[in-house]
Amino acid sequence: MRRLGQSGTRLLSSLIPLALIVLAGGFLAAALVRYSPGFDSIPEDLDPNISPATLRALHEKHNRENSLPRFYAHYLGRAAHGDLGISENLKTPVSELLRERAPVTAKLIAMGTAGGWILGGLLAWMAVWTRRTAIEAAAFSITGLLLAIPPAVLALAFFFYEAPLSFALSLALAPRVFGTMRAILGECYHSPALLAARSRGLPPASLAATYILRSAAPQLTALMGMTLVIAFGSAIPIETLCDVHGFGSLVMQAALARDMPLLCGMTLVITLFITLVHTAGDLAQR
């Protein structure tokens, strides 16, 4: 019972900051949009047939409806019931837009992260396990080159040659995985337990499962969380530049149109995703 109580306390102590961060992130996004240059302008400003009195009334209405505290309070009240509002630019419910775009971005992130882990882990294993200076230097050279190329540039090259964009994301993530994975494998390689197991002639699969994956589980969990966050951030410019109908192009459309309902909804989703990943990593390490 005491252990269950401690687990519940740890979970609650993680969920409270999570909720506060999500709410603060949404509020800051709304503030940035509300007080950005040009937000107070309306389409009717360009219509010469509207009288000054009517135009002044329209501006007053626009300012009342977009007062930051009032807007955000009403927005959170609707969001609690699943209503994220209607996009002012696309004239479509925000929740519907998110449901349409989420699978595209999720697939890109999942495939890109898997490929990045495979490539980065393979290069790390080659650098540590082979114990050959030439192979280690080659692994460092490859990851250093990939680290110097922005993910968007990689994506454009793959887009022009009609290659999978997920592989471009994998190449962008591989050097991030390589550094941490190499340190983990290097520490495990010199551990007395692994040396004793290798001397007993255990098969490589047993060595990897028992003496590497199990012992390094907290570090690998933290690495996975970091990789997912980086993948999500890299997916936005990739989708924007390559015209992929995911979150990236939606973020760009919302920012250019100063679409406050859409921006707030996407900020809440993005902040929630990043905070959940970090919270899961922290709980796994405890």
Coil/strand/helix, residue 93: strand
Reference 229, options 183, 179, 285, 177; nearest CA is 177
| pLDDT digit string, tens, across residues 125-138 | 888 877 778 888 88
| Low-confidence winner among 16-20, 99-103, 167-171 (lowest mean pLDDT) | 16-20
pLDDT band at 160 (very low <50, low <70, confident <90, very high): confident
Indicate if the pLDDT at residue 4 is higher than 50: no
Distance separating alpha carbons of residues 252 and 247, to the nearest angstrom: 9
Reference 226, options 165, 169, 180, 162; nearest CA is 180
Residue, of 250 and 212, whose pLDDT is higher: 250
Coil/strand/helix, residue 86: strand
Q: Which CATH number fits domain 2-31+94-285: 3.30.230.10, 1.10.3720.10, 3.20.20.70, 2.60.40.10?
A: 1.10.3720.10
pLDDT band at 97 (very low <50, low <70, confident <90, very high): confident
DSSP string spanning 225-286? Answer: HHHHHHHHHHHHHHHHHTT-TTHHHHHHHHHHHT-HHHHHHHHHHHHHHHHHHHHHHHHHH-
Distance separating alpha carbons of residues 147 and 100, to the nearest angstrom: 32
Distance separating alpha carbons of residues 284 and 286, to the nearest angstrom: 6
pLDDT for 189 equals 67
Indicate if the pLDDT at residue 106 is higher than 50: yes
Q: Please state, rounded to an integer, the average pLDDT across all residues of the chain.
A: 76
| pLDDT digit string, tens, across residues 185-238 | 777 766 666 666 666 666 666 666 666 667 777 778 888 888 888 888 888 888
Q: What is the average per-residue pLDDT within 172-190?
A: 82
Tell me the two tokens of residue 131.
Answer: 């114990």
The answer to whether residues 125 and 143 touch, using CB atoms and an 8 Å cutoff, is no
Domain boundaries, given as residue ranges, for the chain: 2-31+94-285, 37-83
Indicate if the pLDDT at residue 85 is higher than 50: yes
Coil/strand/helix, residue 98: helix
- The count of residues in the chain is 286
